[in-house]
Chain A
């Protein structure tokens, strides 16, 4: 990136930075009134996210009092540390966590961003969606909400079924809709593409839209259950407003053995894709094994929420210094 003379200037207006401070105050009040404890957890960890489609940045810690040099991952979300607090009996917790995702840079992404994440023991997905709804309606002053299943969206907008349509049909549709060479895309790849290219832009135009019942293969760290058509789905929701993905919530996986299996499966997928393996978080597996309360948790893009509140078009409009100026 060239060093332009004007790049010393913030990418956000001072007005938007004031709005940012206000939003933070509003969020803090919201959780205070709900009796949710604010916590801070480390940004650096020995283990990283194994998810094949999340790229962690790394850092190095050595010298001084550190006798054994450490390679540390910058968190892609504060999930692992927060779940360890839950297992230790913290009760409901929230934090605004600076998180890092390598390479994620666009009008809606910045490799370093603020994630608003919280966990509620005893909640199921519906309880948590109601809470997300009340926070968002307070911040954005919107009252309309809707909830649709992943399957119904594909049926309504694309006339295919993400679970039962032939892979070749999904590939052909991906090709016609976007011009991609789809022969080597798997079912999830096709669905990811069709979702982001054809469905997302239409979501939450005048209302906040929750999408539920994702295919089980996209469960990540959520529990898996059967939907009313007998297919396995993830107990997970995503929340959209004005075509922007705002939040991703789970009825959290609490089974240590299943968690270890998913870490291993992620690394297996990384090997197949020729990506470096990532150290799985044994501490998390041990924490789950020691017993973690049944809970639901959600990660909400704080910068994106602010972007919508400010009526801004780009994430950089609400971040003091986006990565090109950092």
Chain B
């Protein structure tokens, strides 16, 4: 991979830092009227999701990271890996481990499309679409006619995710969920 100088740092650039692939979030140029210039950089460690703050001498370089994001369809899990297939027509398949899938495991639905980040060809993270439709498998019986606001109850979805839903929701209903917050949006 190419090296990138601090002059080329911008939001979204992927670089290697302390052995981990990182995505640059912010790059602030700091320069006193007299004296040396520095770049104060915020990076997200793509392996851990943690945000790092580091300062570099202006002009210093970091190695680029071979990180690409692809749209992939979720196929199935064999218990150890979760299998995805590229939607770009190549039908290329990739197996993501538990660490890469992380919290997204509770939003995984067959035939749905996810953003899969590959580092050196292997998945390191899987991001769900912002909204996803899932079926209710378990919840207390719905109160007929109670469509007014006020009151909620827990419901379990096909993926195993637990969400708070209004009292009128029944087993078998399809619900639209915001995956960023885990909140119920509407019946689908």
A residues engaging B (CB < 8 A)?
51, 53, 103-107, 109, 178-180, 185, 188-189, 191-193, 195-197, 200, 218, 220, 238, 245, 248, 299, 301
Contact = CB atoms under 8 A, between A and B. Distances in A.
A299 B33 CA distance: 10
> In this complex, which of B29, B37, B58 has the most chain A Cβ atoms within 10 angstroms of its Cβ?
B37
> In this complex, which of A105, A196, A197 has the most chain B Cβ atoms within 10 angstroms of its Cβ?
A196
A248 B34 contact: yes
A178 B32 contact: no
Contacts of A185: 57
Interface string B54-68: 111110000000000
Contact of B30 (A179, A188, A189, A197): A197
Indicate the size class of the contact surface on chain B: 20 to 34
A106 B33 contact: no
A197 B34 contact: no
B28 interface: yes
Contacts, number: 69
Given A179-B54, A200-B32, 8 more contacts: A51-B34, A53-B34, A178-B54, A180-B56, A193-B36, A195-B35, A196-B31, A245-B33
Contacts of A51: 34
B28 to A, nearest CB: 6
27 contacts: A53-B31, A53-B36, A53-B37, A103-B7, A103-B58, A107-B28, A109-B31, A178-B38, A178-B40, A178-B54, A179-B54, A179-B55, A180-B54, A180-B56, A188-B35, A189-B36, A189-B57, A191-B35, A192-B32, A192-B36, A193-B36, A196-B30, A196-B32, A196-B35, A196-B38, A197-B38, A197-B40
Contacts of A248: 33-34
A238 B35 CA distance: 13
A107 B31 CA distance: 11
A180 B57 contact: yes
Is the contact region of chain B dominated by helix, strand, or loop, or is it mixed?
strand
B32 A195 contact: yes
B91 interface: no
A121 to B, nearest CB: 23
B52 interface: yes
A107 B30 CA distance: 10
B34 A193 contact: no
B154 to A, nearest CB: 43
Interface of B: 7, 28-38, 40, 52-58
In the A-B complex, the 8 residue pairs with the smallest Cβ-Cβ separation, listed nearest first, are A178-B55, A192-B35, A106-B29, A179-B54, A180-B55, A192-B36, A248-B33, A196-B30
Contacts of A197: 30, 38, 40, 55
Given A106-B30, A109-B31, A245-B33, A193 B54 contact: no
Contacts of B31: 53, 104, 106, 109, 196
A32 B58 CA distance: 41
A83 to B, nearest CB: 17
B29 A193 contact: no
A193 B30 CA distance: 9
Contacts of A179: 52-55
> In this complex, which of A180, A185, A218 has the most chain B Cβ atoms within 10 angstroms of its Cβ?
A180
A109 B56 CA distance: 18
Contacts of B28: 106-107
A221 to B, nearest CB: 10
A104 B33 CA distance: 10
Contacts of B54: 178-180
Nearest to A301: B33
B32 A104 contact: no
B35 A53 contact: yes
A196 B40 CA distance: 11
Contacts of A192: 32, 35-36, 38
